[in-house]
Amino acid sequence: MGEMKENEKKYAMELEVAVRVVHVACALCGRVQEKLLATTNDLVVSKDDDSPVTVADLSVQATVSWLLSENFGVQNVTIVAEEDIQTISKDDSAGLLQAVVNTVNESLASASKYGLRSPETTLGTSDVLEAISRCNSTGGPSGRHWVLDPVDGTLGFVRGDQYAVALALIEDGKVVLGVLGCPNYPVKTEWLNYRYQYHQTTSQSSQTTPDEWGKGCVLYATRGSGEAWLQSLSSGDKMLEWPNCARLIQVSSTDDPALATLCEPVERANSNHSFTAGLAHSVGLRKQPLRVHSMVKYAAIARGDAEIFMKFAKSGYKEKIWDHAAGVVIVEEAGGVVTDAGGRPLDFSKGMYLEGLDRGIIACSGVTLHEKLIDAVYASWDSSNL
């Protein structure tokens, strides 16, 4: 117990800043997404250089980088993140750059509402580029690295559906804290379906979600605390009294596969759905899967809305640390188990990728379900063609 509390004390400042920063980033994404949904009837927007997703990605990256540097000192902050400066440095990207600069300034101006310092003067283009270029760390086994996924779940984002903003801190190769912002994942689970239908049926002109649905949530945890927390996504003012209305969350206690819910990716791009379906069948999962975009799957398990998330990548695909770091620590501290398919803990010390991953990733609400799945992987792997 002593070590647990030590860890909480040791990272208390980092956690507090990280949670506030993620609230700011979620608000930024919400504004970009609202504009996007108000101006397009086309459901799928590709992640082209000038797409709103790229504006959100780069703006979150610059905003998070600036706020972390402001709080901990530029010399102390290294960030591993998805987007690099190339996207925005091309000759034809002046419009994109201007959109990012405007979005970042609008976002940072509201930071003081979240208990963070806003800049004294508007950031210029070079300040924004510098903030983005600081996100060039490759992680590794030593030192401190913040790990950021600015908009996880591109398709969810452009469809007005689920996406996440994920920020984690890795120290000497271990994830020590994680914050996961889920702007469209309502605080009360039963609102999930209503919200989705609501988005499908309302006119494009009224894209804001009714407030009483609890817009979205932010989950967070410190390694070794044995606690994971959930807050309603704040519009700012309430964040000044930290930690406002956060509540403890725990994984589901269901350990019977017939009653367990599996979280599945919506898109099939880089995961093997058929192998996952075969495993689900062999361990006796009966319920309709919960299909959500992005790291919201980790949130669903940590909150007790689902029991299992499995991802078996197609051959040649390498899992990136920013797609998992924050979610893993939150699920584990909420009482769940996350390993590779061989039952080993995920290794975040090898740089930008989860190197040495045995076949795939299995996250579960508890040990009993986890063991059944690992056994099923061993039983069925040889006959599969992965």
3-state secondary structure of 178: strand
User: How far is C-alpha 386 from the chain's CA centre?
Assistant: 27
Determine contact, residues 57/28, Cβ cutoff 8 Å: no
Task: Give the whole-angstrom CA distance, residue 141 versus residue 173.
Answer: 4
End-to-end CA distance of the chain: 42
Active-site position among 63, 78, 87, 154:
154
Active-site position among 54, 57, 161, 209:
57
Between the alpha carbon of residue 21 and those of residues 16, 38, 67, 77, 362, the distances in Å are: 9, 26, 7, 14, 29
Give the torsion sign (CA, 310, 302, 55, 14).
negative
Determine contact, residues 359/340, Cβ cutoff 8 Å: yes
- 82 annotated ligand binder: yes
Structure tokens at 34: 């609202």
For residue 248, the surrounding DSSP H or E stretch is strand 247-249
Instruction: Sort 92 into a burial class: Cβ within 10 Å, 0-12 / 13-18 / 19+.
Output: exposed
- 84 annotated ligand binder: no
Task: Give the whole-angstrom CA distance, residue 43 versus residue 65.
Answer: 31
- Is 154 an annotated catalytic residue? yes
Task: Give the whole-angstrom CA distance, residue 249 versus residue 333.
Answer: 9
- 382 annotated ligand binder: no
Query: Could you tell me which residues are beta bridge partners of residue 249?
Result: 228
- CB atoms near residue 190 (< 10 Å): 9
- Is 57 an annotated catalytic residue? yes
CA dihedral 196, 104, 154, 194 (to 10 degrees): -10
Structure tokens at 236: 């700012």
Where do we find the tokens 């499908």?
Answer: 200
Give the torsion sign (CA, 139, 142, 146, 152).
positive
- 172 annotated ligand binder: no
Determine contact, residues 266/155, Cβ cutoff 8 Å: yes
Mind telling me the catalytic residues? Answer: 57, 154
Residue stretches of the annotated binding site for Mg(2+) = 82, 149, 152, 323
Residue stretches of the annotated binding site = 82, 149, 152, 323
